[in-house]
Amino acid sequence: MKRIVLGVSASIAAYKAASIISELNKRGVDVHVVMTEHSTEFITPLTLQILSGNPVHVDVMTEPSVERINHIFLAQNTDLLLVAPTTANMIGKLANGIADDMLSTVCMATPQTTPRLFAPAMNTKMYEQPVTQDNLEKLKRYGYEEIKPITEKLACGDVGIGAMAPVSEIVDLVMAKLNESPIV
């Protein structure tokens, strides 16, 4: 069974993590969820725990097992890392090596040989900011793959690019990456 880490950062699109988990579970993927503290205000860890069948990780200082360091274990025991939704804040953290919460720490500890995908979700103005675009380019240089946001009516009422890609597109890309043959 393939195993992924799903990172959830604090965007209104966090509720879509429930659908991502459900669809991946239907396809036989074992999903382990890591949330930022603020994302728990959009969707509860309990909801994602019930859907995934696994504990949800929020606090980097919580170590459920004395035999292993939790963020290292999660990062090194996954077939793929997906951060969906990914806020401008999380993109900035990852692009600049900041690991100050459970999600950014797991991301930083994930081997570069592990596929790492992220699905931005934010207001158009935030997405189009030069600093955000620079950080996106940095992440791509570091081996992350962007699942491009789409243009539609956003939570703030604006219409523009910044809505997280459709769940079906995200799930299809995850499955394609998980099923790729290793390059010899």
Asked if residue 184 belongs to a domain, the reply is no
Nearest to 82 by CA among 49, 46, 127, 114: 114
Residue 166 lies in domain: 3-179
Task: Tell me the C-alpha distance between 94 and 104, whole Å.
Answer: 7
Number of domains present in the structure of the chain: 1
Cα→Cα distances 125→28, 151, 177, Å:
38, 12, 30
* More confidently predicted of 92 and 153: 92
* Each residue's pLDDT tens digit, 110-141: 999 999 999 999 999 999 999 999 999 999 99
183: Cβ contacts below 8 Å, ≥ 6 apart: none
Residue 137 domain-assigned (yes or no): yes
Residue 144 placed within a domain? yes
Q: What is the pLDDT of residue 184?
A: 39
DSSP-assigned letters across all residues of 95-117: HTT---SHHHHHHHHS-TTS-EE
Maximum CA pair distance of the chain? 49
* pTM of structure: 0.94
Residue 77 has pLDDT above 70, yes or no: yes
Kindly state whether residue 96 falls inside one of the protein's structural domains: yes
Specify if 18 maps to a domain. yes
C-alpha to C-alpha distance for 182 and 184, rounded to whole angstroms: 6
| CATH number reported for the structural domain that contains residue 74 in this entry | 3.40.50.1950
Which residues are catalytically annotated?
A: 156
- Provide the pLDDT for residue 182: 53
Residue 124 has a pLDDT of 96
Residue 86 lies in a domain: yes
Report yes or no on 49 lying in a domain: yes
